[in-house]
Every structure is written in structure tokens, then in C-alpha cells.
Amino acid sequence: MKRIFYLFVLLVSASVVSLTAGAYTQEFDGNIYELSNDTAIYTFTRHPSWFDFPRYPNTYSITIHDTVWRKGTSYPVTTISPRKSGMDQELIFLIRIPNTVKYITDKAFAVIDPIMRIAKEVSLRVNPDNNIKVIGDSAFYDSFLTDAFSLPNITSIGKSAFEECYKLQGISLGNALHTIKSRAFYNTGIDSITFGKSIETIGANAFAECWKLTSVKFVGIPAAIEAGAFATPHERDKSYYAHPSYNDKTIPTIKNVDISDPQKWCRVKMKSNPIVQSETFTVNGQAVSHLDVVAGKEGIASNVFANAKNLTAIRVTGGGVIEGSAFISCTNVKDLCLEVDSIGSGAFYISSREEYFNPKVSLRRIYSLTPTPPAVSKYAFYNYSGIILYVPAGCKDVYRRHRIWGQFSDIEESDFEGLDDIFSFESGIGDIHVDNSDIYSEDINAPTRIYTLDGRYVGDNASMLTPGIYIVRRGHVSRKIAIQ
């Protein structure tokens, strides 16, 4: 019996040794690290709890080492683990993270009990060239981060990673970032954000309630933006949030969305108008009033240009579908040119309230290029009177007999000559910023076209112009000229 018992003890001991072989716990300057597989994981910093009266500390800082040594072997610190017991985030006022760290895991520095918080501001110090790649769910939740910082190599930001960090001044995200999960920056203090070339998904409410956010820039075009991703605070929320700006009569909203490629932007899958408060769209930093896109089979996705107040002329060609609410609340559009298969509900709708408070609501002309009337929802347009509908020659009767198109009071046939002068795309206005792959040489055989700064075509002879600033186009090249 004793032999069996001893054999059992030996087997258990051997198992424990095999499981723990190569894994060690190391304390270095009060920091606790787990060492394994040639790397180190930061777990927590020893410090007396503030409940440990009378030895409770004032607020303190954490400096994570880049390398931990054991018996002559170096272990680079690559990971910050989830919160461990004994670590009082409520006392931290400064966190220093070295360049060796690549992963900050779930709840690493989250404040679990904000009522017990002593530190009222937390500074996160990372080098501009840091190598942080992944930030987990709730990693800095409610941690009172203040300083702006950069994450040039970040690839993924977890759910609620920076939620409730309403003192966070700003953050720079690099070109490697592809995923931002839901509520990642919910209720933070950032005033602008730029997404790099690799962005793919922005989760629901990712930047909701960001009370200072006024500018959003897309260098890359994501495949999907989830519901409420950029929803801004409402008037009724003033009493709930203790932000200084909420004492003002107005709450800042997103004023500008800058996109790099309108053609790709048309395909972004959006849910519930995630950029509902945007007022202007610019293309590569240039003001655009005329939008000219080829929809193709994929069409125009819902909400992609909702509330774009700067648009005055829109041309969509190439067939396909304009989905519901694609251009909803574009109150300043006067001219619309369509060569599509169908138009969804609310695609160009404007509410009666918007029309009442904005007398500039003025859709005046629609050019439908297809001999067969496109399928159209009853609520695709907000109004059918006072608008001229131009249709191909010989097609007036078929449009007049249509259940929806026939509601337009004025239908006229047209050869559509000169439409380019109305709908030419203005993304090239001003200084040209293009990637090397997109550089075009000037085509000396292309016709010269001259426009005013607001996009009005004025001819091809500069000697006939009155003094002022104009845009000259030849082929793919545009430049500004001054006439004195």
C-alpha cells in the first residue's frame, strides 16, 4: 500500500514539475512578472492598499520594465496581463509602458470601483514609436487618461477599451489598425480622429457621446460602420454628463467627414446612420459640392452621404441600387442625375421640419437617363411639385404613367447635352494629393475646362475671364490660377 502511495506522490510531483517547467514569477522593483517562453508578462505592482491605514499611500506611478533578467537570461516584457488582486488602479496617476510591449489584455488598467478613486487624472506615457499591437476589452475603462498619445502599430482595439476616459485629449492611430470594437472610445474627450489605410470595421457606438468630436477623416475606407458609431450627445444628456462644454447652449457635433475615395465610400455598410450629425463631406481635404460616382452593381449603400449639407449636385450612373437614406437630409442639392435600377425609401428624403427651417431646401431638377423608369419607393423624394423631371426623348409618356414618377408635375424630354458642366466631380480642386500609384501625367490633347471655386463652368479661354481665382482642368490634372 505504501508503495502505491509513494508512486502516486511521485507521479503528481512529476506532473506539477512538467506543467511549471520554464515558468517563473519574478519581482523587479516592486513589479511582478511571469516569465515563460523567453518573454515576460507584467502582472501587477506591489503597493499597500489605501485601506491599509495608516500606511495607505498617496497616488503612485507604474513604470513597466522593457526587460527582466533571471540567472543571466533576459526576458523582454511583451504583454500586460489582466488586472490582478492587490493592484489599486484607483491610486495610479502615471503609467509608463516600454516599446517592447505588444499586447495590453482585457481590463489591464480598468478602474473597477470609481467611487474609491483617489487619482483624478492618469497620464499614459508611451514613446511615439511604441509597438503596441492589440489593446483588449475594457483595458483602460474609466481610468481618467488625460494626455494625447500615439499608437502607430496598433491593429485592434477592444470593446470599451477607452470607454469613459472623458479627459482623454487625443489619440493618433496608425495605418495598421483594422478593427475598432463597440464602445471603444465611448464618452472620451477627443476632438478629431483619423483612420489609416487598413481600417475595416468600426463597431457600434465606438465613438458615441464623444462630446468634443467634430472632425473625422478616413484615409482608408472601412467595409462596415456599425450603428451609432459616431452618435453625438443630445440636449437631454446635459444634466447627466459633467463636462464643461455641456454648460454651453449648443453641444459640439461632427462638422466634417473627410474621405479619400468617394467611389469606395459608396459601398460602406452602415447601420442606423452612424455619422448622423455630420454636416460636410470633403475629399482629401478639398471642399466638394458636386458628387459624380459610378454605382455599378454594388450600388450606393444606406446613409453613406446622409446630411451632407455641402452637396449641391449629385450624379449616380452605372446602374445598381441607391439604398434607403443614402442621401437623406442633403438639403442643398439642386440638381440630381440618375442612371440606376432602383431607388430605396428615403434615399433623397428631407423632412418637412428641415424644409420649414431651411428655406434653401431646393431640389429643382432631376435627370433620369434610363428609358425605363427605375423602380422607386414612394418616399424616395420629399416632394414632387416644383421639380422638373427630365427624361430621354420619347419616354415622357412611360414616365407619366408610372405610379411614382408620374407624380412629378413637370416632366420634359431631353437629349441631356451639357450634363458634364453641371455634375463634374470636384475632388481635384485645389492642391492635388495623390499616391504614387495614382499619379497621372498631363494630357496635352485633353480639352481645357475652367471653373470658378464654387464649381461653375466658365469656359476654356482664360483671356476672357474677369479677375479672380479659378480652377483649370486638363485631363486628370487640375490647378489653381489667379487672373489679375
pLDDT for res 24: 85
Q: How far apart are CA 120 and CA 114, in angstroms?
A: 10
* pLDDT tens readout for residues 26-42: 888 888 899 988 999 99
The better pLDDT of the pair 30, 301 is held by 301
For the chain, what is the mean pLDDT?
A: 78
The size of the chain, in residues, is 484
pLDDT for res 47: 65
pLDDT for res 308: 84
Name the strand (E) or helix (H) holding 67.
strand 67-70
The residue-averaged pLDDT of 370-389 equals 92
* pLDDT tens readout for residues 122-144: 888 999 999 999 999 999 998 88
The better pLDDT of the pair 387, 478 is held by 387
Q: How far apart are CA 80 and CA 43, in angstroms?
A: 6
How many angstroms separate the Cα of 244 from the Cα of each of 167, 188, 230, 239? 11, 13, 20, 11
Could you give the percent of the chain with pLDDT greater than 70?
Answer: 73
pLDDT for res 41: 93
**C-alpha cell recorded at residue 171:** 489619440
pLDDT for res 281: 80
Q: Is the pLDDT of residue 10 over 90?
A: no
* pLDDT tens readout for residues 206-237: 998 888 888 899 999 999 999 888 887 654 34
Q: How far apart are CA 436 and CA 459, in angstroms?
A: 31
Do residues 148 and 171 touch, judged by C-beta distance below 8 A? yes
- Least confidently predicted of 161-175, 205-219, 449-463: 449-463
**Sign of the Cα pseudo-torsion (378, 381, 385, 387, in order):** negative
Q: Which of 229, 134, 132, 242 is nearest to 182 (CA)?
A: 229
**C-alpha cell recorded at residue 368:** 433620369
pLDDT for res 131: 97
The residue-averaged pLDDT of 323-343 equals 92
- β-pair partners for 287: 282
Model confidence, pTM: 0.76
The residue-averaged pLDDT of 355-363 equals 59
Q: How far apart are CA 234 and CA 449, in angstroms?
A: 45
Amino acid at 45: T
How many angstroms separate the Cα of 6 from the Cα of each of 2, 9, 12, 17? 6, 5, 10, 16
- Least confidently predicted of 16-20, 93-97, 266-270: 16-20
- Least confidently predicted of 82-91, 236-245, 290-299, 448-457: 236-245
pLDDT for res 374: 97
Out of 363-367, 420-424, 470-474, the most confident range is 363-367
User: Which 3 state secondary structure label does DSSP give 404?
Assistant: coil
- Least confidently predicted of 295-309, 336-350, 358-372, 417-431: 417-431
Task: Indicate the DSSP class of residue 374.
Answer: P
Q: Is the pLDDT of residue 101 over 80?
A: yes
Q: Is the pLDDT of residue 177 over 90?
A: yes
Q: What's the half-sphere exposure (Cβ side, CA atoms, 13 Å) at 47?
A: 20
Cβ neighbours of residue 376 closer than 8 Å, sequence gap 6 or more: 342, 343, 404, 405
pLDDT for res 249: 36
Q: Is the pLDDT of residue 454 over 90?
A: no
pLDDT for res 477: 61
- What does 74-134 look like in DSSP terms, one character per residue? EEEEEEEPSP-TT--GGGEEEEEE-TT--EE-TTSS--S-GGG---S-BEEEE-TT----E
pLDDT for res 13: 42
- Least confidently predicted of 41-50, 198-207, 215-224, 364-373: 41-50
pLDDT for res 11: 42
Task: Indicate the DSSP class of residue 120.
Answer: S
User: Which 3 state secondary structure label does DSSP give 3?
Assistant: helix
Cβ neighbours of residue 232 closer than 8 Å, sequence gap 6 or more: 208, 209, 210, 211, 213, 251, 252, 253, 254, 276, 277
pLDDT confidence tier of residue 413, bands split at 50, 70 and 90: very high
